[in-house]
């Protein structure tokens, strides 16, 4: 199972890298086109690639067409880097309320942490003011502690 997940991740990273190189492909349709191109270019070299790409596309479809589509709507755009300029409380439970799963909330948390990491790398030590607090709370843990 672990080797399947590593391959899944490798293929996804390669496809996303291809998508990110060309602004015209940086959308859901572009992702689909790049998946199909990846399959065409690699199907003779990678066993079970077609099934793996179906799994990847199904997972991504949750964000593009499924219940989490609203998170990517143009009227919900947030400049993630501005989140680090003030005190912010992110409630990722709304992802669950929309029909997402724990893995979807973790995906968004990881995305925020990735932006934080990138910001610290690009600004370097000279502008770094430090993070005062970072809490990651899982609601069921809080409720459990109160019992």
Taking only the tens of pLDDT, the chain with its 147 residues reads: 556 556 778 888 899 999 999 999 998 899 999 999 999 999 999 888 999 899 888 888 888 888 888 887 766 667 776 777 777 777 888 888 888 888 888 888 888 888 777 777 777 656 666 666 677 766 554 444 444
Nearest to 55 by CA among 9, 95, 120: 9
pTM of the predicted protein model: 0.64
| C-beta of residue 105 within 8 angstroms of C-beta of residue 95 | yes
2-21 and 28-42 helices, crossing angle to 10°: 120
The percent helix, strand, coil of the chain (3-state, each to 5) is: 70, 0, 30
How many angstroms separate the CA atoms of 5 and 47, rounded? 14
Q: Would you list the domain boundaries of the chain? A: 1-65, 74-147
């Amino acid at each position: 199972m672990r080797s399947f997940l590593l391959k899944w991740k490798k293929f996804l990273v390669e496809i996303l890298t291809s998508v990110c190189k060309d602004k015209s492909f940086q959308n859901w349709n572009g992702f689909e086109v790049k998946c199909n191109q990846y399959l065409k270019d690699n199907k003779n070299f990678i066993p079970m690639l077609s099934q793996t790409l179906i799994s990847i596309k199904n997972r991504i479809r949750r964000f593009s067409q499924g219940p989490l589509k609203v998170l990517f709507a143009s009227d919900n755009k947030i400049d993630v880097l501005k989140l680090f300029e003030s005190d912010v409380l992110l409630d990722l439970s709304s992802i669950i309320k929309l029909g997402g799963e724990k893995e979807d909330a973790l995906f968004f948390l990881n995305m925020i942490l990735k932006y934080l990491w990138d910001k610290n790398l690009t600004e370097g030590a000279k502008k770094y003011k430090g993070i005062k607090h970072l809490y990651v709370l899982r609601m069921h843990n809080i409720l459990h502690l109160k019992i």
